[in-house]
Amino acid sequence: MLDFFNSNETIHFIITVSTMLLFTIGLYGVFTQKNLVKVLISFDIMETALFLFFIGLHYDFGRVAPIVDGNLNTFTNMVDPVPQAMILTTIVIGLAILALGLSFGIEYFRLTGTNDISKMNELRD
Amino acid sequence: MNLKKEFRLKHIVLSLLSSALMLSILGLLLHVKSGLHKSVGDIILTLNMETATANAVTSVVTFFRGIDTLGEVTVLFLATTGIALMLSTSQRTYEKVVHQESFILNIGSKLLLNVIILFGVYIIIHGHLSPGGGFQGGVVIATAFLLLFLANPNMHLNHFILTLGESLSGATFVLVGLIGLFKINILFGNFLPNPVSEIGELVSGGIIPIIYIIVGIKVGSEMSVIVEYFIKEDNKKEVSNA
Amino acid sequence: MSLGYYFLLPVIFSFLTPFFKKMSSVSLRGSSVLLNLFLFLQTLQYTQMSMPQISQFSIAPPVGIAFVLDNFSLLFLLIFTFSGFIVSLYMMWYFKVSDSTHEARFYVFFSMLIAGSIGMILSCDIFNVYIFFEITGISSYALSAYNKDKMGLEAGIKYLIIGSVASIFIVFAIMLIYLQIGTVNIGLIAQRYSEIDPKIAVLIALMLFIGFGTKAELFPMNFWAPDIYQGSSSHVNGLFSSVVAKAYLFVLFHLFYLFGLNTQYTILLMSLGAITFLVSELTALNQKDIKRLFAYSTLGQLGILFMALASNSSQTISGALFHLTSHSISKLLIFLALGIIIHKLKDTKISIVGDFKSMFLTVILVIGFLSVLGIPPFSGFVGKILILKGFALAHNYMAIAFILIVSIIEAVYFFRLIAIMLDKSRTKVAVSIGFINYIVLGGLGLLIILLGVYPSILTHYTDLATNALLEPQSYLNYALGVGL
């Protein structure tokens, strides 16, 4: 029974289903929420779901982390290091955009007193 | 306080639509990982012994994909400049609000400050030997300053030193790349000696620990500046001109 | 000179701008002009060298990342560095602020916008293209909200939300590509693209299309563009329409042709381009704000470019590249001239084109309008004729009729603007123009006339670019690191 849970396909199935569920929640939040802070947090949820999906699918059962220490001497049977490097970069970029968006929200609130994106219709035909 | 949430038709329709979209994509994604091709990560792992770095992720981030790290550092710099553009106060009038500080919290946070910064510096310097590196260590250093701000919201950070650290470390990063161009004709090439026998030592890997130290200083100073701008917003009260 | 300088020099300049506030603002603007002039002259030198050129980072591709320049990206590099030089020269007059920190921040975002767009067109690694996409994106969000007034902040917030949606789609596509193929190098992906599961290939193509198409202002994802143009300053609008939109257009079509998608999705892209053109020109007819009007005009011209670039014939693509260059120069001219007028009159309704008194600006604006519309002897005419000739050679007469009919709609509002401008019965306000602006705007106007009268200067480069796009084997060889 435990061998069923220890196989690659089960782990990948669980990861795919759960992260796509998280992605759907984030997508729903982006389309329906009216407060700017909630929209930005929903973006964060979507991005986190994608990161978990990518890293999770690259885990193969039985491999180790790509670090050489006293016990390990060669770079064999290790998990792929390139996705981890890519996700590291993308996390920082997501953080930067979130911070910038929040600062826009703070300044807009100071000027108009509202954070409601459905009321932002100064610019229209 | 009324906690009932009203169910609008638009919300229900949108949630059904997004679920349908995701279910249709889910069917595809269950078979997405195929063993068709050898990925580039396997090639990098076999090449990694020559860079004499114990942590393969570090060598990918700083050496094999170094220009991505430069781009990411630039993105963080642009975000900090944007936040400074929005929240800087040289053009508006405000009245300072003085918060009450707590004595015990003040003393306790100053005791912990040195330990946290030391921990952050350890993570940065040992980035090529154990999990960690410039980004992680920089954020830990910014956490130390956040702790100081939480204890005493009226504190000021020295903007001159932070800006100096930010600009100079960024310029040094680009200079390391240009020195590689002049010495061995490859931009961001590894021009310092990196013998394989030194793998696992603190001084190994050529320019890889140097790049991570530069990134650590930059990320630390930038995150501290961002934290300060956001916390200082609480100290301002608009003066309305009657 | 290594290709990496196009990104590294502006990055050093941006990192060192906080130190400029100790000196005067003239030194900051002057060094920006010198930097952009240096990059433009280097690009002119590249036109004399043999293509393709490569400059690798850290280790040879396909394991590492490299910047590859071929004739197709050389044309766009010329447009971007030229626009950067012109706008930095224009900005020497524009600001008269006393706060040099605020001004220094403008130069950070401006340099990074140009550098990010150049990085997007040169890089041969799709994740690196995403990084430059984000650099350009953040610079444009900050430039939209630069004035910190209500409209600017609203534009910045909306642009940030739309841009984040686009970047999430692109990240998803890159992840799927890496899971299926195992690499992110464009050369290797182009080689192995036909071997991936066809359903996932459709999903990847759709995600890339939505991601880059949103920022390249293609229907139906371009509803955000007029709001953003209305909220930003006029010179920022000029940068958006001549540099940023063209960069995303480049990446979209470069991947489209390299991955071999041009055989399946031609009809879809051509019809979407046609719908973009029609809907934008119809909506432009009843606009009351002049910046929105020109935003819709930009969307319409981008629609023509989509139609022409998505067709597979070399004559149409060559004409489209000529029209792209001419449109960049003309829109830059219009937006920079409008910037002077809006700065003086402090209003943006359509009738301000009739409220200023300056013979020079009137002539310049008429040149710009007629060039975008496509009237001889200006360069827009040559561009449109070459596109129509290409469609005629491919026996696509429906496209010719469509473009001509919708151009009549375009002519309606342009001639209405010219009529307002030449109306002598309005009260006119004198506008002061700096000496540098005479040179900048006059130079752009003369360039438009020169390209219209002697188009062979540019058609040489657009033909080379079309060959490089349709026969990308030498580019792919360099991206795969063959022979390095």
The answer for A 2-21 residues in CB contact with B (under 8 A) is 12-13, 16-17, 20-21
Nearest beta carbon to residue A107 from set B19, B45, B86: B86
Query: What would the two tokens of residue C287 be?
Result: 């606009």
User: Among B17, B32, B33, B211, which would you mutate to test the A interface (most chain A Cβ atoms within 10 Å of its Cβ)?
Assistant: B33
B78 touches chain A (CB under 8 A): yes
Which residue of chain C is at minimal alpha-carbon distance from B169? C15
CA–CA separation, C130 and C169 (whole Å): 11
CA–CA separation, A109 and A123 (whole Å): 17
Q: Which residues of B touch A30 (CB under 8 A)?
A: none
Residues A63, A77: contact at Cβ < 8 Å? yes
Residues C360, C370: contact at Cβ < 8 Å? no
Which of B59, B68, B65, B74 lies closest to B208, judged by CA? B59
> Are C65 and B67 inside 8 Å of each other by CB?
yes
A2-61+81-116 classified as CATH 3.40.50.11810 = no
- pLDDT above 60 for B1: no
CA–CA separation, C58 and B64 (whole Å): 6
Domain ranges of chain A: 2-61+81-116
Residue A97 C-beta-side C-alpha neighbours within 13 Å: 35
Question: How many contacts does A have with C, using Cβ atoms within 8 A?
Answer: 86
Query: What would the two tokens of residue B88 be?
Result: 């800087």
- pLDDT above 70 for B92: no
**Banded pLDDT at B4 (limits 50, 70, 90):** low
Q: Which residues of B touch C4 (CB under 8 A)?
A: 67, 177, 181, 187
Q: Could you report the per-residue pLDDT of C52-79, keeping only the tens digit for each? A: 888 888 888 888 888 999 899 999 999 9
Is the CA virtual torsion B77, B82, B87, B90 positive or negative?
Answer: positive
**Banded pLDDT at B36 (limits 50, 70, 90):** low
Nearest beta carbon to residue A31 from set B14, B33, B79: B14
How many angstroms away from the CA of B22 is the closest CA of chain A? 7
Residues C330, C448: contact at Cβ < 8 Å? yes
CA–CA separation, C477 and C137 (whole Å): 30
Which residue of chain B is at minimal alpha-carbon distance from C15? B167
Of the listed ranges A114-118, B63-67, C290-294, the least confidently predicted one is A114-118
pLDDT of C248 reads: 93
- pLDDT above 80 for C21: no
Q: Could you report the per-residue pLDDT of B196-220, keeping only the tens digit for each? A: 777 777 887 788 889 999 999 999 9
Residues C82, C42: contact at Cβ < 8 Å? no
How many angstroms away from the CA of A43 is the closest CA of chain C? 8
Q: What residues contact C275, with CB distance under 8 A and at least 6 apart? A: C219, C303
Which residue of chain C is at minimal alpha-carbon distance from A111? C150
Q: Which residues of B touch C65 (CB under 8 A)?
A: 65, 67-68
Residues C322, C310: contact at Cβ < 8 Å? no
Nearest beta carbon to residue C231 from set A30, A89, A123: A123
Q: Could you report the per-residue pLDDT of C424-436, keeping only the tens digit for each? A: 777 778 877 888 8
| Type of residue at B30 | L
Q: What is the 3-state secondary structure (H, E, C) of chain B?
A: CCCCCCCCHHHHHHHHHHHHHHHHHHHHHCCCCCCCCCCHHHHHHHHHHHHCCCEHHHHHHHHHCHHHHHHHHHHHHHHHHHHHHHHCCCCCCEEECCCCCCHHHHHHHHHHHHHHHHHHHHHHHCCCCCCCCHHHHHHHHHHHHHHHHHHCCCCCCCHHHHHHHHHHHHHHHHHHHHHHHHHHCCECCCCCCCCHHHCCCCCCCCCHHHHHHHHHHHHHHHHHHHHHHHHHHHHEEECCCC
Q: Which residues of C touch B86 (CB under 8 A)?
A: 145, 148
Q: Could you report the per-residue pLDDT of A21-35, keeping only the tens digit for each? A: 899 899 888 888 889
Q: Could you report the per-residue pLDDT of C451-476, keeping only the tens digit for each? A: 888 888 888 888 888 888 888 888 88
Which of B81, B29, B116 lies closest to B226, judged by CA? B81
Q: Which residues of B touch A13 (CB under 8 A)?
A: 30
Residues C57, C136: contact at Cβ < 8 Å? no
Nearest beta carbon to residue B28 from set C58, C139, C200: C200
Which of C320, C331, C330, C329 lies closest to C459, judged by CA? C320
pLDDT of C97 reads: 59
> Are A108 and C148 inside 8 Å of each other by CB?
no
Q: Which residues of C touch B226 (CB under 8 A)?
A: none
The 10 Å Cβ neighbour count of residue C387 is 29
**More confident: C19 or C37:** C37
- pLDDT above 50 for C241: yes
Q: Which residues of C touch B60 (CB under 8 A)?
A: none
Q: Could you report the per-residue pLDDT of A58-113, keeping only the tens digit for each? A: 888 878 888 887 777 777 788 888 999 999 999 999 999 999 999 999 999 988 88
Percent of residues, chain C, with pLDDT higher than 90? 36
Residues C276, C219: contact at Cβ < 8 Å? yes
Write b or e for each residue in C63-98: b if 16 or more Cβ atoms lie within 10 A of its Cβ, otherwise e.
bbbbbbbbbbbbbbbbbbbbbbbbbbbbbbbbeeee
Strand, coil or helix: what is A121? coil
Nearest beta carbon to residue C150 from set A82, A89, A111: A111
> Are C141 and A50 inside 8 Å of each other by CB?
no
- pLDDT above 90 for B122: yes
> Are A80 and B32 inside 8 Å of each other by CB?
no
How many angstroms away from the CA of A114 is the closest CA of chain C? 12
pLDDT of A51 reads: 94
**Banded pLDDT at B6 (limits 50, 70, 90):** low
Residues C57, C66: contact at Cβ < 8 Å? yes
How many angstroms away from the CA of A67 is the closest CA of chain C? 20
Q: What residues contact A3, with CB distance under 8 A and at least 6 apart? A: none
Q: What residues contact C366, with CB distance under 8 A and at least 6 apart? A: C418, C421
CA–CA separation, C326 and C319 (whole Å): 11
> Are C227 and A124 inside 8 Å of each other by CB?
yes
Q: What is the 3-state secondary structure (H, E, C) of chain C?
A: CCCCHHHHHHHHHHHCHHHHHHCCHHHHHHHHHHHHHHHHHHHHHHCCCCCCEEEEECCCCCCCEEEEECHHHHHHHHHHHHHHHHHHHHHHHHCCCCCHHHHHHHHHHHHHHHHHHHHHHHECEHHHHHHHHHHHHHHHHHHHCCCCCHHHHHHHHHHHHHHHHHHHHHHHHHHHHHHHHCCCEHHHHHHHHHHCCHHHHHHHHHHHHHHHHHHCCCCCCCCCHHHHHHHCCHHHHHHHHHHHHHHHHHHHHHHHHHCCHHHCCHHHHHHHHHHHHHHHHHHHCCCCEHHHHHHHHHHHHHHHHHHHHHCCCHHHHHHHHHHHHHHHHHHHHHHHHHHHHHHHHCCCEHHHHHCEECHHHHHHHHHHHHHHHCCCCCHHHHHHHHHHHHHHHCCCHHHHHHHHHHHHHHHHHHHHHHHHHCCCCCCCEECCCCHHHHHHHHHHHHHHHHHHHCCHHHHHHHHHHHHHHHCCHHHHHHHCCCCC
B224 touches chain A (CB under 8 A): no
Radius of gyration for the alpha carbons in chain B, expressed in angstroms and rounded:
24
Which of C151, C176, C169 lies closest to C226, judged by CA? C151
pLDDT of B25 reads: 80
Helix (H) or strand (E) holding A1: none
CA–CA separation, A57 and A79 (whole Å): 11
C223 touches chain B (CB under 8 A): no
How many angstroms away from the CA of B1 is the closest CA of chain C? 31
Top-confidence range, B4-18, C74-88, C303-317, C360-374: C74-88
Q: Which residues of B touch A111 (CB under 8 A)?
A: none
Domain ranges of chain C: 265-453
Query: What would the two tokens of residue B81 be?
Result: 């400049």
> Are C127 and A54 inside 8 Å of each other by CB?
no
- pLDDT above 60 for B240: no
- pLDDT above 50 for B242: no
Q: Rounding to the nearest 10 degrees, give the CA dihedral for residues C29, C35, C36, C40.
A: 150
**More confident: B145 or B52:** B145
Nearest beta carbon to residue A69 from set B10, B39, B54: B54
How much is the ipTM here?
0.94
Residues C114, C86: contact at Cβ < 8 Å? no
Q: Could you report the per-residue pLDDT of C396-446, keeping only the tens digit for each? A: 888 899 999 999 988 988 888 888 888 877 777 887 788 888 888 999 999
Nearest beta carbon to residue B171 from set C16, C99, C135: C16
> Are A81 and B46 inside 8 Å of each other by CB?
no
CA–CA separation, A47 and C171 (whole Å): 9
Query: What would the two tokens of residue B137 be?
Result: 């260590």
- pLDDT above 70 for B162: yes
pLDDT of B37 reads: 65
Which residue of chain A is at minimal alpha-carbon distance from B197? A73
